[in-house]
């Protein structure tokens, strides 16, 4: 069985867990606290020299870091990856957007406000910068989700899973989702998918 090394309340680590739940596939979870230095210990660095969770570990010992690459591997051949090459590339485009424009603002602001150990980095400048960048990313999503139920085509893809992870807790990072009705309706659509599990869920619980 595959293993996902990750932290329960990290959105990046939730992405592959949510995909496995939606696919109805079993996996092991190994909890790694990314805030207490665990990711910099030699045993973890042997799994992922980038020193970050999540990391996927296959039965044969091969490992794969980066949440969206893990989604691509686990989602291969499933209904969450469009067959059409242009739609597949559009899905990837949203996943790169998630890592470059969304996560560095929406997720980072969330962690600055939620984790006491990051409080020293929560300067007014950093909070203002991430609020502005996060709202710009949310506005891009809102425009797309006002036109369509899903980010790509007419069914949920890996892009929806990647962007759901931090968008659904954006309010904890100080983002007012009342301003984004298209996003709120999309969050509800994802939560209604068969097999959906919340971020707190771990296999076996």
Q: Which residues bind ligand GSH (CB under 6 A)?
A: 7, 10, 12, 34, 39, 51-54, 66-68, 99
Please state the closest distance from residue 99 (CB atom) to ligand GSH, in A: 6
Q: Report the nearest approach of ligand GSH to the CB of residue 65 (Å).
A: 6
Nearer to ligand GSH, 67 or 135 (CB): 67
**Closest CB 32 distance from ligand GSH, rounded Å:** 8
Q: Compute how many other C-beta atoms are within 10 angstroms of the C-beta atom of residue 119.
A: 10
Residue with Cβ nearer ligand GSH (37 or 181): 37
Cβ nearer to ligand GSH, comparing 52 with 102 = 52
Which residue, 17 or 153, is less far from ligand GSH as judged by CB?
A: 17
Closest to ligand GSH by CB, 64 vs 153, is: 64
- Residue 178 Cβ vs ligand GSH, minimum distance, rounded to whole Å: 26
Q: How many whole angstroms separate alpha carbon 62 and alpha carbon 116?
A: 34
Q: How far is the CB of 126 from ligand GSH (least distance, A)?
A: 16
């Amino acid at each position: 069985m595959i293993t996902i090394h990750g932290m329960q309340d990290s959105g990046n680590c939730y992405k592959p867990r949510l995909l496995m739940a939606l696919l109805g596939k079993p996996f092991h979870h190994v909890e790694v606290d990314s805030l207490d230095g665990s990711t910099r210990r030699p045993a973890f660095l042997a799994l992922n020299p980038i020193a970050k969770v999540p990391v996927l570990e296959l039965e044969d010992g091969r490992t794969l870091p980066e949440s969206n690459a893990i989604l691509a591997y686990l989602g291969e051949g499933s209904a969450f990856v469009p067959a059409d090459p242009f739609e597949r590339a559009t899905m990837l485009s949203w996943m790169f957007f998630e890592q470059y424009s969304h996560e560095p603002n929406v997720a980072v602001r969330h962690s600055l406000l939620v984790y006491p150990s990051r409080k020293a980095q929560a300067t007014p400048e950093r909070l203002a910068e991430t609020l502005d960048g996060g709202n710009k990313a949310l506005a891009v999503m809102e425009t797309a989700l006002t036109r369509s139920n899903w980010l790509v085509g007419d069914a949920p893809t890996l892009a929806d899973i990647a962007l759901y992870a931090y968008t659904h807790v954006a309010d904890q990072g100080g983002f007012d989702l009342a301003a984004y009705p298209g996003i709120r309706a999309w969050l509800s659509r994802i939560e209604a998918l068969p097999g959906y599990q919340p971020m707190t869920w771990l296999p076996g619980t």
